[in-house]
Chain A
Amino acid sequence: DAMVIQNPRYQVTQFGKPVTLSCSQTLNHNVMYWYQQKSSQAPKLLFHYYDKDFNNEADTPDNFQSRRPNTSFCFLDIRSPGLGDAAMYLCATSSDRDSSTDTQYFGPGTRLTVL
C-alpha cells in the first residue's frame, strides 16, 4: 500500500544533542510537510517543501532545519534540542497535480523525548 513512513517511531535524545527524524513516502507526492504536535493539540506546521522549494513558517525556530534529497525522502533536523522540543513530529504529503484540493496524508509520527 502507498503510504507515509516515519522512522523511528520513538526517539530519545539528550538536551543539546542534535537529532534527525526521517520521513519517506511511496505516494509520489510533490509536497512534503513537517508538523510539531504537543499533547493532542492541533498540529503546528513547521515548514514544507513544494518539490525542491523550501517554505519555512515565520514562527519556526532556527533550531529546526529540513532537507529533502529527493521526492521520496524528507528529514527534520533539530540542531540543539531543548526540553520544550519534546513532542510528536508528524510528516505529511500532498499532491496538487491532479486536483485543486490539497489533501494531506500523514505518517504515524515520531515521538521525541528530550532528557
Chain B
Amino acid sequence: GNSVTQMEGPVTLSEEAFLTINCTYTATGYPSLFWYVQYPGEGLQLLLKATKADDKGSNKGFEATYRKETTSFHLEKGSVQVSDSAVYFCALTLPLNAGNNRKLIWGLGTSLAVNP
C-alpha cells in the first residue's frame, strides 16, 4: 500500500544548526510530495511541495528534493532558528488523473525544538 515514513522525533537542535528530517515513501505511480509545518496551537501550513522527480521545493530557507531512485523527500535547512520549533509532517497524494482519490497520506510527524 501507499505510505510515508518519517524519522521519529523529537529532534532538538541549537540555533544555527543544520537540520535534516528524513522522509521516505512507498507509492504506486508518481505521487506529489509535501511538507507541512504546524506551529504550537495552530493549523497546518504548506511549507513546500514537489510534483515530479528531481523537483526541488523550497520556502523560508527549507528545501526538499524529490528523489525517485531512493523514494525520498528529506527536509533540510542550513541554519535553524528558535522560531522554526514546530511539528513537521511529510505527506503524499497520488495523481488525480489516474483515478486515485484525493486523500493525503501522512507521515507521523517530527517534532523539532530549537534552543537559543
Contact = CB atoms under 8 A, between A and B. Distances in A.
B72 interface: no
Contact of A6 (B43, B45, B46): B43
A102 interface: yes
Nearest to B40: A40
A43 B44 contact: yes
Nearest to A45: B103
Given A40-B38, A45-B104, A48-B102, A101 B43 contact: no
A6 B41 CA distance: 14
B104 A106 contact: no
Interface residues of B, number: 27
A42 B34 contact: no
A24 to B, nearest CB: 14
A103 B49 contact: yes
B85 interface: no
A12 to B, nearest CB: 16
Interface of A: 6, 31, 40-43, 45, 48, 50, 55, 88, 90, 92, 94, 96, 100-109, 111
14 contacts: A6-B43, A42-B89, A42-B106, A45-B103, A45-B104, A55-B101, A90-B44, A100-B96, A101-B32, A101-B51, A101-B93, A105-B46, A106-B44, A106-B46
